[in-house]
A and B are shown apart, each in its own frame.
Chain A
């Protein structure tokens, strides 16, 4: 079962991102939304942590949340809009939101 993990809390405020990365398998995906996109900040500990995800696990970020925070994303991040979010929800077997 491939799971799309959805994060919206800032990675600087709690340990959801770290817990999520530990649980991820190679077929899973991680979608950063809201303040969770701060994990894309180069040079930060959360940014380094993202690299520890299993090889093959895809990384996504909601483009409007990235742009709203004047961040940019590396080549390993797919910036998505809402129609693509809906598509991903269907492509993965389930969606796990870290509420």
Chain B
């Protein structure tokens, strides 16, 4: 198969199997020599960008795995800002803007709009969405 450009969209929380499937797909795509243009975290998927998640030691920490994966490969991880704000996932700028006591977005993430998903899809061969259970 020729090299493909993928955009991935994740709609489910890091506690869901869907988040794990998305990560395994992303790993396999890069291992296969393909390109990931952008990973867009939408709806419950925005919780993956929170640095405040504490996962029990005997469970896989998907939020941490996502962050490590995105950092290690220099990927463009974009979090939907509207979905993030309503779920209390804020970076420093948004915490100041709305006078909230703390920011919790881990480093390596960018809060931005749906336009970033649209733009990435235009630059990609395939959009693959992961959501549900």
Contacts and interface: CB of A to CB of B under 8 A. Distances in A.
Contact of B28 (A8, A86, A99): A86
A82 B27 contact: yes
Contacts of B31: 83
**Interface residues on chain B, size class:** 20 to 34
Select the residue from A8, A86, A95 with max chain B CB neighbours within 10 A.
A86
Interface in B17-36: 17-18, 21, 24-25, 27-29, 31-32, 34
Nearest to B11: A99
Interface residues of A, number: 21
Contact of A90 (B1, B11, B129, B130): B1
Contacts of A89: 4, 6, 25, 126, 128
Nearest to B2: A90
Listed from nearest, the 7 A-B pairs whose CB atoms lie closest are: A99-B131, A82-B28, A97-B129, A82-B24, A8-B132, A90-B1, A90-B4
